[in-house]
C-alpha cells in the first residue's frame, strides 16, 4: 500500500481571519515573528487606501475599480523599514521552489495571486493582487491562510502557479513573494504612521498613474458612473461588481475607508471622524449600485441616485485627503 507523505507545515503559524487580504496577511506574518499589530494598522502603515478606475474593453466587467493601493505590501515594507524581503520570479517553477524552501525552513510567506485561479473561490472575475500566506504544502496542494476563511484553505499546486503568474492588464503578477529575513528582528512599526499618512494623502491628490488613480480617477468615475447604462453593454455586471469591490470583497466596508478611519483613530489623528463619514458615503453609493444592478432594464431613477451618491463621495474625498495632507483645499490638475 502506497504511503502518503504528511504535509509540510510552518511550525507555530496561526491563521487569524480578517477583512482584507493584504492587511490580514501582513498582520499574521508579523504575528508569526512576534510583532502584534491590528489589521487596520497594517493597512494604514502601507498607505493602503487609493482609488483606481480603468476601462478594460473586451473584458467583463469592462469597468474596473478598486479602493486600495496596488502595492500595499511593498509600501508597508518601504515605509516601516521592516526586514521583509520581496522576491519576484519570471519562471513558475522557480517561484514555487522558493516558496517551498521558505516553508521547509519554517518561514511563512506572503504570496500575491489572482484569486480567479484559487480553488476555494468560484471563478467569476479576475482579481489580481490577492495576498495569501503559504502555511504548508504536500505533493498536490498548498495550504493557504486567506483573509476571512475560518480555517486554512487548499489549492492545487498547478492552480496556485496560475494564480501567481497571472497576466492581468492592470496588475501583472510574477510570482511575488514576501518573507521575513532569517534571524531578522522587527522593531516598532507604529512610529511610521506619520509618514504613511502623508504618503497616502499625496498618492490620492497627485497619484503616479494620473487620471487612472486617486482623486483624478474618482472625478472621472463620478462624472461617468450614472451614465453606464447608456455607455456599456455590461452595465448590470459593472454595477454589481462595483458594489462588491466597495462593500464586500475584503474592504471592511466603505471601500476601505472604514478600516482607514479606525487606523487614524488608533494613532490619535483628528481626521478619523471625517474618514468615517467618507466611508458612510461609499457604503451609500454601493447600496445604490446594488439596487440599480438588480433591474434587468436600466431604471432612470436608480441611476440618477447612483450619480448623486458618486458626486457626494467625490466631495467627501476632496475634503478628506487635503485635510490629511495639511492643505485647506484640493487643487485639481489642469
- For the stretch 200-252, pLDDT in tens is 999 999 999 899 999 999 999 999 999 999 999 999 999 999 999 999 988 99
What string of DSSP letters covers 157-185? HHHHHHHHT-B-SSSB-S--EEEEPTT--
Residue with cell 513558475: 92
Task: Catalogue all structural domains in the chain, each as residue range(s) with its CATH number.
Answer: 8-36+83-185 (3.90.70.10), 192-325 (no CATH)
CA–CA distance, 52 with 307 (Å, rounded to integer): 18
Mean pLDDT, residues 304-321: 98
What is the maximum alpha-carbon separation in the chain? 74
Q: Is the pLDDT of residue 329 over 90?
A: no
Task: Spell out the residues 6+ positions from residue 20 whose beta carbon is closer than 8 angstroms to its own.
Answer: 39, 43, 68, 147, 250, 251, 252, 256, 259
* Predicted pLDDT of residue 279: 98
Cβ contact 320:278 at 8 Å: yes
Task: Spell out the residues 6+ positions from residue 185 whose beta carbon is closer than 8 angstroms to its own.
Answer: 83
DSSP state of 211: G
37: nearest Cα among 50, 24, 48 = 24
Which of these ranges, 63-77, 121-135, 237-251, 319-333, has the smallest mean pLDDT?
Answer: 319-333
151: nearest Cα among 136, 139, 164 = 136
Q: Is the pLDDT of residue 171 over 80?
A: no
Q: Is the pLDDT of residue 290 over 90?
A: yes
* Predicted pLDDT of residue 181: 81
Q: Is the pLDDT of residue 149 over 90?
A: yes
CA–CA distance, 246 with 49 (Å, rounded to integer): 12
Q: Is the pLDDT of residue 269 over 80?
A: yes
In terms of pTM, does the model score above 0.75?
A: yes
User: How many CB atoms lie under 10 A from the CB of residue 177?
Assistant: 21
* Predicted pLDDT of residue 169: 61
Q: How large a percentage of the chain has pLDDT more than 90?
A: 82
DSSP state of 213: B
* Predicted pLDDT of residue 331: 46
129: nearest Cα among 185, 64, 78, 214 = 64
Q: Is the pLDDT of residue 310 over 70?
A: yes
* Predicted pLDDT of residue 333: 41
Cβ contact 135:152 at 8 Å: yes
- For the stretch 38-74, pLDDT in tens is 999 999 999 999 999 999 888 889 999 999 998 899 9
CA–CA distance, 135 with 132 (Å, rounded to integer): 9
Q: Is the pLDDT of residue 261 over 70?
A: yes
Query: Can you give 243-256 as a three-state secondary structure string?
Result: HHHHHCCCCCCCCC
Could you tell me the pLDDT band of residue 328, with boundaries at 50, 70 and 90?
very low
Residue with cell 495569501: 132
Mean pLDDT, residues 26-48: 95
From residue 100, alpha-carbon distances to 36, 106, 131, 250 in Å are: 25, 10, 17, 27
Q: How large a percentage of the chain has pLDDT more than 70?
A: 94
Q: Is the pLDDT of residue 79 over 90?
A: yes
Amino acid at each position: 500500500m502506497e504511503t502518503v507523505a504528511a504535509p509540510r507545515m510552518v511550525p507555530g503559524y496561526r491563521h487569524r481571519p480578517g477583512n482584507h487580504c493584504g492587511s490580514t496577511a501582513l498582520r499574521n506574518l508579523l504575528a508569526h515573528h512576534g510583532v502584534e499589530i491590528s489589521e487596520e494598522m497594517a493597512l494604514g502603515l502601507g498607505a493602503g487606501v487609493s482609488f483606481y478606475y480603468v476601462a478594460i474593453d473586451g473584458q467583463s466587467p469592462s469597468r474596473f475599480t478598486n479602493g486600495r493601493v496596488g502595492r500595499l505590501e511593498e509600501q508597508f515594507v518601504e515605509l516601516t523599514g521592516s526586514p521583509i524581503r520581496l522576491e519576484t520570479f519570471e519562471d513558475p517553477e522557480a517561484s514555487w521552489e522558493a516558496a517551498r524552501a521558505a516553508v521547509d525552513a519554517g518561514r511563512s510567506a506572503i504570496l500575491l495571486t489572482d484569486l480567479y485561479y484559487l480553488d476555494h473561490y468560484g471563478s467569476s472575475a479576475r482579481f489580481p493582487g490577492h495576498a495569501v500566506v503559504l502555511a504548508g504544502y504536500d505533493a498536490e496542494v498548498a495550504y493557504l491562510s486567506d483573509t476571512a476563511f475560518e480555517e486554512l484553505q487548499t489549492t492545487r499546486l498547478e492552480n496556485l502557479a496560475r494564480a501567481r503568474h497571472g497576466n492581468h492588464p492592470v496588475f501583472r503578477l510574477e510570482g511575488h513573494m514576501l518573507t521575513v529575513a532569517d534571524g531578522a528582528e522587527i522593531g516598532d512599526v507604529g512610529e511610521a504612521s506619520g509618514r504613511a499618512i502623508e504618503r497616502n494623502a499625496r498618492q490620492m491628490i497627485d497619484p503616479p498613474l494620473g487620471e487612472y488613480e486617486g482623486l483624478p480617477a474618482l472625478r472621472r468615475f463620478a462624472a461617468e458612473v450614472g451614465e453606464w447604462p447608456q455607455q456599456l453593454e455590461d452595465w448590470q455586471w459593472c454595477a454589481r461588481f462595483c458594489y462588491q469591490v466597495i462593500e464586500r470583497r475584503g474592504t471592511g466596508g466603505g471601500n476601505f475607508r472604514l478600516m482607514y478611519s479606525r487606523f487614524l483613530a488608533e494613532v490619535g489623528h483628528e481626521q478619523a471622524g471625517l474618514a468615517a463619514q467618507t466611508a458612510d458615503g461609499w457604503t451609500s453609493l454601493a447600496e445604490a449600485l446594488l439596487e440599480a444592478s438588480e433591474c434587468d432594464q436600466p431604471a432612470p431613477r436608480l441611476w440618477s441616485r447612483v450619480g448623486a451618491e458618486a458626486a457626494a463621495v467625490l466631495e467627501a474625498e476632496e475634503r478628506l485627503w487635503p485635510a490629511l495632507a495639511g492643505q485647506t483645499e484640493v487643487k485639481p490638475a489642469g
